[in-house]
Structure 1
Amino acid sequence: MSQVIYKLDNIYRRILTNINIEIHKGDRVMLFGPSGSGKSTLLHLFNRLDDPEQGSIFYNGKNINEQDITTLRKNVGLVLQQPYLFPETVKDNLMYGPKLFNDWNPDEARTLLEYVNLPESYLDKPVDELSGGEKQRVSLARTLANKPEILLLDEPTSALDDQNIEQIEQDLINLIQHNDLTVIMVTHNLEQAKRLGNRGIYLENGKIVEEGLLPDMLDRPETEALKNFTTNH
């Protein structure tokens, strides 16, 4: 059995009710369900962007409330649906996190852009000259600059066109393969969940209704709720 990297024990927060999850090292967990089901709220608990009202969360066996929050967020990187980049250049964004820990190596800048399929010439490019897809890829590279163990993704492709979605997905597949990342991702796209995930968690009204291996749980759902959801999506 692989290492349990996260354990959520009896979590309550806003809509979330009695959430119990174990995430193992190397998992690629897809969170899906209707709008308002609590997917993003759940995702944001993993790096303390939000905190539970009841219950405990353990990261590598230690309660995350007892861990330094800056170090936690370095190890558990978050990429949002709408990328927020700092002003100035792509390079300024890439070096921001590592410089907080005196861990910036300029030689790694090119590798970070290679991960997200951008040329080295983009390092000196002002971020306000980037397209939407390029901004999302720089946001992903900036998160990777911190050398995270876990990557949290909150619908990172939902605002992109089909071509950029395909590129971001390929970037993610390459990153997962080369960086031994554990991934927890919110998506509304069930085909994307099949392409990127190996585990699925279906939420409805703040509760886990069904979880299992992908793509099996989407091809052969066990609950009526998930059957209805897959039929309508």
Structure 2
Amino acid sequence: MLPLTLDGAIARVRGKTLVGPVDLQIGATGLTIVMGPNGSGKTTLLRLMHGLQRVSAGRVDWAVPDGVARGRQAYVFQSPIMMRRKVVDNIAYPLALHGVPRRQARSTAAEWAARFGLGDALERPAPYLSGGEKQKLALARALIRQPEILFLDEPCANLDGRAIREIETILQQARADGTRIVMATHDMGQARRLATDVVFMYGGKVHETAPAPAFFKQPATAEARAFINGDIVE
């Protein structure tokens, strides 16, 4: 289904342009980090690529029909959504939606919960989990159908160091297993640890793209240099 190609893509809400025009291609492999100042359009870009945000102009094209692409991707929000169900049933939900028998779905969900450190929490109500546990549940639920591409919006915001390390390990394993990852983060250290390439957003546009080593060593624009240095970018 990849590459994903954005050609002059624009997202507008109530006449205001939030993102665009964007020309960008997401290839079949790697872990792309989307960075930029607050309000630069990171979340909107992710939503545009995933299909949660309507394209106002331009195109967002997959290498397969849109209906096929929808079934092969997943999205994890910054604040994960917990259904008022047990942990095991939250993780099993995507399988149930696609017709997997309940017993089989719950058995598979239990295996994924164990992989994500939630094996002892299967029968707990999901809304009562800690922040890190909720994020791990959201990742397990997103990955249980082994999507070809996973979009992540600040998945480690407000988590402690241990939870961040656990989630980064999960993401690295998912990438090793063949899932393409596109992730927004404000954490410069995390970006350096995980990124194969960087998309730098500024003023609602893709201001700069580069392989991660080149971006962090010598960004091409003054705005990206300032951002990397921790300066205020207006």
CA-to-partner distance for each residue in 1:66-99, whole Å, 9 max, x for gaps?
x33xx64432100111111101201111121111
Q: CA offset at residue 19 of structure 1?
A: 0.5
Contact 1:80 1:156 in 2 (8 A): yes
Q: Which of 224, 227, 232 is equivalent to 2:225? A: 227
Matched positions, count: 223
Mark the runs of 5 or more structure 2 residues left unpaired by the alignment: 12-16
Given that 2:91 and 2:113 are in contact with CA atoms closer than 8 Å, whether structure 1 keeps it comes out as: no
Kindly report the root-mean-square deviation, in angstroms, between the aligned alpha carbons of the 2 structures.
1.7
Q: Which residue of 2 aligns with 1:9?
A: 7
Task: Assess if the C-alpha contact under 8 Å between 2:86 and 2:123 holds in 1.
Answer: yes
Matches of residues 147-226 of structure 1 in structure 2 within 5 Å? Answer: 147-178=146-177, 180-226=178-224
2:88 is aligned, of 79, 91, 104, to: 91
Is the CA contact (8 Å cut-off) linking 2:34 and 2:199 kept in structure 1? yes
Residue 34 (structure 1) aligned with residue 37 (structure 2): yes
Residue 157 of structure 1: CA displacement?
Answer: 0.3
What SS does structure 2 have at the residue aligned with 1:60?
coil
- The residue identity in structure 2 corresponding to 1:113 is A
2:73 counterpart (63, 72, 76):
76
Q: Residue 149 and residue 76 in structure 1: after superposition, are their counterparts in 2 closer, same or farther (change >3 A)? A: same
* Cα displacement (A) at 1:229: 1.0
Q: Contact between 2:10 and 2:58, CA under 8 Å: does it hold in 1? A: yes
**Mapped partners of 2:100, 2:49: distance in 1:** 24
Which residues of 2 match residues 19-30 of structure 1 at below 5 A? 19-30=22-33
Per-residue deviation, residues 133-183 of structure 1 (Å, max 9, x unmatched)? 1011001101112321111000000121222111111111122212x0000
The corresponding residue for 2:57 is 54
1:112-131 map, 5 Å? 112-119=112-119, 121-131=120-130
Letter in 1 for 2:198: G
Q: 2: CA distance between counterparts of 1:89 and 1:50?
A: 30
CA distance in 2, matches of 1:73, 1:82: 21
- Farther-moved stretch of structure 1 (107-116 vs 4-13): 107-116
Q: Is the 8 A contact 1:77 1:151 kept in 2?
A: yes
Residues of 1 paired with 2:2 and 2:71: CA distance? 19
- Asked if 1 retains the 8 angstrom alpha-carbon contact of 2:89 and 2:109, the reply is no
User: What amino acid maps onto 2:77 in structure 1?
Assistant: L
Amino acid at match of 2:226: N
Q: Quote the Cα distance in structure 2 between the aligned partners of 1:133 and 1:72.
A: 29
Q: Does 1:101 align with 2:104?
A: no
Residue in structure 2 matched with residue 134 of structure 1 by the alignment: 133
Kept in 2, the 8 Å contact 1:8–1:57? The answer is yes
Are the counterparts in 2 of residues 115 and 175 from structure 1 also a CA contact under 8 Å?
no
Distance 2:128 2:38 in 1: 32
TM-score by length of 1: 0.89
